[in-house]
Structure 1
């Protein structure tokens, strides 16, 4: 009865606003310090009205004033206009959720704001080469040019990031999507069920005392060191999981051949609070396992035959001659023809297909289970592709279980990101949306209810402190001395946001003395944001940190900076560090710093080693590889860029190599080509864009000086100047996400 009376009262205070389209506004029923907006399309609202009101009431009962905005939204600009209007009112808006058919911004010309997405926007269709991103809605400073609406996917609207826009994401509010996954579904029934379920769950006590962590095949080079170190990070952030009464299961993909079935069982465990997936992924699957490792001779033979059958079937699909493919493999591996027996038999195809199906989690697998975690982190490519009809995160969140929210990526993502950043906030009762607001990546999105929070007995209300008290430096100074690692790490970051370079010396001191891995990493990330001498010098110490992840990122940052003083210590770690990822990042950094210098340093290292077969093997592996860098850069890539007899698209493709491979030695050559007015504009433009990725380089001033020449040159086209202005701002403002330069 109370709900009905309250519902009628709310309807009486509906107001209308006119702008791009008529918007029905249902005002908050309770007054709180901050507000939240539920943005929904008219048809979904009419089909889900009672559930939406129930959800709104649950949000208000949990301490947020809640608006509902209903309209037949035509484009993202209409939606953003209303969000900013509410943000400028009191109480201040801290977040929004988009329910149903809300326009989807598809962002172009902003790949530097992603962790890994670098698809050629000229070569591939717009729907594939754009990034679905609600940063359009939740970062008010970013500037975009509207391009067009997709002719097939009507919800999708294309925007280009403008050159005079900020080139880093710094979100003003948090956002999330409630958009069911599935073809031929009753989406309104699913939304009704989900909203009512969430409203019920929000009334329950839910402490974080049960978690599941999974590392999939091929992720972080299958490094056991990296995998085991994450447990130390989680122990700092969720200490209750590691004492009697708590439970965390840390699963590695090679632990069992039936790991997929084990995961399905564990995900349905009653009382499971959080699940973290670190794996490769796609829009419709989670790539979990590799083919089983052979344990004996027979299994090794079967593994070879399976490999050969897959190659021959692949040749047939590509309409290549099957007989020639067989001849190639028989000669290459010296094998008899009977190894190919059964390649095209129905029974063999079915058996191989079934084996492959057991390796990964598909949409139908999720539809047939009842996942229980309230929050799931999908540290996987494409699992959060909410712009599609079907996507993995949507199946988990809006399915049969009790999942409230999931964090996923709308496009591919990088493995080396700090996936657990601020995750401990959930243990302090922080709303999942507030935690996600700190994840400033174009592709990262929350699916589900962003206002959800776990129960906490903390005496600090971080929700209010992070929204209303973010600039109260005295309060954060006090927390800097707190014994709690989560609070101390939070204080480090918030004080940095307020003080910037004035905090540099303290950050160096915090890194050098703090016992917490997470606090040290917060200090390092803040120093990387400042990108001054303090950061560049502290890398000589952080490369020796007990934490694998800090060593891994330090090796990468050394390559990004490009200072030759790093070569001796980097060489030591490449040959002695126990982590495959540290070694990988160190090897990459060698050439970026100095092609000849790294070669000489490695030769010097080998000269000091005693003679052994192992030493000889290492020399044969590393010396040619380092020599290859010089050949690749100066005998192939640079000459190809200069070669006007090659197709222009080939030259441009070669120039784009330096977006990922930031060789300091190549900068003078690239600058020279960029400043050559006789070169095609499109080629010069690609070099300008590539140089924007050198944000940590000690040659940044040189690059900026050359970029400024392009900008002031009266003969430069508007097309070239726009990219030069964008690169200038990128270099001055720094990498969008310093952990992923």
Structure 2
């Protein structure tokens, strides 16, 4: 009967597809805001009961829900259908893309990512493009179609046009429910099972408040700085007011606690009752990087590490290369002067069981997809700060192994490309404590590479009843309403109100207001939100905020200030920057940012500021310390001067020059802007290098010379330039003007 029913549905779909228009099932219930399930025909045919059950549950939860399906030929067909729906339903707050929805691979938009800077000309097109559903949820952006991938027909390449808006401004939120090939089995059964799980969870979570949270910091994350790790609790107390009621309702884990840590983490994320699990770590598409390798700090541990290494060498050589075990052992005994008894444990199962749990093998310092199979995960939401863990375009990705397994995990947040460590990863996350849907929160912190995987309509029961999740859309432009919310006792509601007020301030006249909020707020997260908002204004009020923020008690704010100080490059920031460098030594990531920022200023001014500091400092052997620091400063400046010399050296190869010009994107040397602009206008330089230089200037959005760059680029447009260079200059101007 099931096959007959599917056959009938296929016949209906075939007749509808002749019309070449998507099929739209309208909502069954009316609510103030709406949601849409976008799927392909095959997924609809095979998962229709589960899709309908999920739709009904979402509607019962307060969202009018559309279902749209078709035999999508390309991403633009999907985008057009979504755009048409949005035109008729402006209260659309989000979408979910279920099944085999085409993937847009974005190019010419790396400035919308946090860290991805791969050379699009040098590297293969698949690796150098960004898989991004901003193609679907930010309808302001304009794209130029390039081609379909030759081997993976689900991937389509587009580039951002020069005239497009150059910054993200999402119309609504989105998420993916995409089953990876690596998990095997029947993908339609897996998708159906997930949708049914998500539907049932709506009732289960009706009274579930966000009061069970786990946060984990992995090895190598933020310089392994303990101040970063400890300071995050200042924010967590503000984000999750209910999660600190007992000693176990909030767990703040660190890789140093155990080696291997992965089994502890897998137990925790599988623990029933967990609401939110945050992984702050490094990663790959198929791995979460957890611990450092075990260090041999005694003769006994060094012996065990050597033994482990050689045992694994033999085992892998036998299994993968089909080498003879005995002859290999004899060769290793001879090479390392080992006694035959060294390999006595090789065939002992007890040794391998002990080794599995000891952390001695490299497999134990990471969580791989093989570890994630056949387990139950119960954290309702899992956040992956890592690079690549959300790579839904691949045949295997970490996030899927949390979603499509038994348990209660409904939504993951992950990245399709590498991601910057120094971004504020927990911005606005406290809105989840107030009943906001995960999609609504994620829309506020969107990047080109950042995505939701799973059900974006998930939400927890609010601390106190409120209607803010609807009003964030329905009262988006109501200035008086959002000013009222600044009186809230909760930090994240104040953060949201500040963000909405900054969005309303389209003429950018209210920076003094946000600076005052920054100065007066007792909340760490509110000050950080004000700081981020002021960065949009890029004026003297922001420069003043940077000066104050360098001494802020919240490490995250001080670190951002240290980064922005160099990008602004106003000489008034040199003195507070040097003071922080000398007196804030325990905040390792702040120190790292300061040392990167110093070389954006004039060398002589930096040296004088250091000398002035030591002139009044009460430090032991200050003269010697001052001399050593200045010597180091001279060495650093010499290195960066060499970088710039290569660009202008007639004897340097074009390849070397291109490499150094690309470095400018992450190193906006404000004091060299005139030389960079002159380079663009000089037709003696190769066109490719002039285009790269024009693009690099688009990264000077915080520079005190930003307006000068815009004016000079406009003047260059009035000269006789090749079309490609003309287009790049237009895009740079667009980026700097719309910042």
Q: What is the TM-score normalised by the length of structure 1? A: 0.89
Tell me the residue number matched to 1:406: 412
Tell me the residue number matched to 2:3: none
Question: C-alpha separation between the residues in 2 aligned to 1:309 and 1:57?
Answer: 56
The answer as to 2:421 corresponding to 1:415 is yes
Tell me the residue number matched to 2:712: 706
8 Å CA contact retained: 1:595, 1:630: yes
Tell me the residue number matched to 1:592: 600
The answer as to 2:610 corresponding to 1:602 is yes
Tell me the residue number matched to 1:428: 434
- Distance 1:339-1:298 versus aligned 2 partners, 3 A rule: farther
Tell me the residue number matched to 1:473: 479
Q: How many residues align?
A: 699
Tell me the residue number matched to 2:543: 536
8 Å CA contact retained: 1:16, 1:25: no
Question: C-alpha separation between the residues in 2 aligned to 1:55 and 1:718?
Answer: 50
1:557 aligned residue (535, 555, 564): 564
The answer as to 2:629 corresponding to 1:629 is no
Question: C-alpha separation between the residues in 2 aligned to 1:288 and 1:450?
Answer: 27
8 Å CA contact retained: 2:305, 2:360: no
Q: CA deviation at 1:619?
A: 4.8
Tell me the residue number matched to 1:65: 64
Q: CA deviation at 1:282?
A: 0.3
SS of the equivalent of 2:522 reads: coil
Question: C-alpha separation between the residues in 2 aligned to 1:663 and 1:560?
Answer: 8
The answer as to 2:517 corresponding to 1:510 is yes
Gaps of 5+ in 2: 1-8, 316-334
SS of the equivalent of 2:24 reads: strand
Question: C-alpha separation between the residues in 1 aligned to 2:393 and 2:97?
Answer: 13
8 Å CA contact retained: 2:142, 2:161: yes
Q: What is the TM-score normalised by the length of structure 2? A: 0.89
Tell me the residue number matched to 1:520: 527
Question: C-alpha separation between the residues in 1 aligned to 2:625 and 2:362?
Answer: 36
SS of the equivalent of 2:253 reads: strand
Tell me the residue number matched to 1:723: 728
Tell me the residue number matched to 2:652: 646
Q: CA deviation at 1:596?
A: 2.9
Question: C-alpha separation between the residues in 1 aligned to 2:14 and 2:463?
Answer: 39
Tell me the residue number matched to 1:194: 194
Question: C-alpha separation between the residues in 2 aligned to 1:361 and 1:664?
Answer: 43
Question: C-alpha separation between the residues in 1 aligned to 2:339 and 2:238?
Answer: 54
Tell me the residue number matched to 1:286: 288
Moved more, 104-113 or 541-550: 541-550
Question: C-alpha separation between the residues in 2 aligned to 1:530 and 1:630?
Answer: 30
Question: C-alpha separation between the residues in 1 aligned to 2:471 and 2:13?
Answer: 31
What's the RMSD between the two structures over aligned residues? 3.1
Question: C-alpha separation between the residues in 1 aligned to 2:530 and 2:615?
Answer: 38
8 Å CA contact retained: 2:37, 2:65: yes
Tell me the residue number matched to 1:213: 215
1:20-39 aligned within 5 A:
21-39=20-38
- Distance 1:15-1:210 versus aligned 2 partners, 3 A rule: farther
8 Å CA contact retained: 2:209, 2:463: no
Q: CA deviation at 1:304?
A: 9.0
- Distance 1:87-1:383 versus aligned 2 partners, 3 A rule: same
8 Å CA contact retained: 1:16, 1:23: no
The answer as to 2:79 corresponding to 1:99 is no
Tell me the residue number matched to 1:458: 464
Moved more, 654-663 or 51-60: 654-663
Question: C-alpha separation between the residues in 2 aligned to 1:214 and 1:659?
Answer: 32
- Distance 1:644-1:613 versus aligned 2 partners, 3 A rule: same
8 Å CA contact retained: 1:86, 1:92: no
8 Å CA contact retained: 1:689, 1:724: yes
- Distance 1:339-1:611 versus aligned 2 partners, 3 A rule: farther
8 Å CA contact retained: 1:216, 1:278: yes
Q: Deviations over 1:394-441 (max 9, x none)?
A: 111122221100110000000011111111111111111111111231
Question: C-alpha separation between the residues in 1 aligned to 2:457 and 2:705?
Answer: 44
- Distance 1:431-1:347 versus aligned 2 partners, 3 A rule: same
Q: Deviations over 1:161-206 (max 9, x none)?
A: 0011111001001110001234233111110110001100111132
Tell me the residue number matched to 1:580: 588
Tell me the residue number matched to 1:334: none
Question: C-alpha separation between the residues in 1 aligned to 2:611 and 2:180?
Answer: 56
Tell me the residue number matched to 2:499: 493
8 Å CA contact retained: 2:260, 2:291: no
Question: C-alpha separation between the residues in 2 aligned to 1:60 and 1:730?
Answer: 40
Q: CA deviation at 1:124?
A: 0.9
8 Å CA contact retained: 2:216, 2:252: yes
- Distance 1:185-1:545 versus aligned 2 partners, 3 A rule: same
Tell me the residue number matched to 2:129: 130
Q: Deviations over 1:479-527 (max 9, x none)?
A: 1122222222221111111125232222111111111111111111111
Tell me the residue number matched to 2:319: none
Q: CA deviation at 1:639?
A: 2.6
- Distance 1:193-1:538 versus aligned 2 partners, 3 A rule: same
Question: C-alpha separation between the residues in 2 aligned to 1:660 and 1:606?
Answer: 31
1:358 aligned residue (354, 358, 364): 364
8 Å CA contact retained: 1:479, 1:487: yes
Q: CA deviation at 1:555?
A: 1.0
SS of the equivalent of 1:358 reads: helix
2:239 aligned residue (237, 240, 261): 237
Gaps of 5+ in 1: 1-9, 314-336, 735-741
8 Å CA contact retained: 1:309, 1:340: no
SS of the equivalent of 1:232 reads: helix
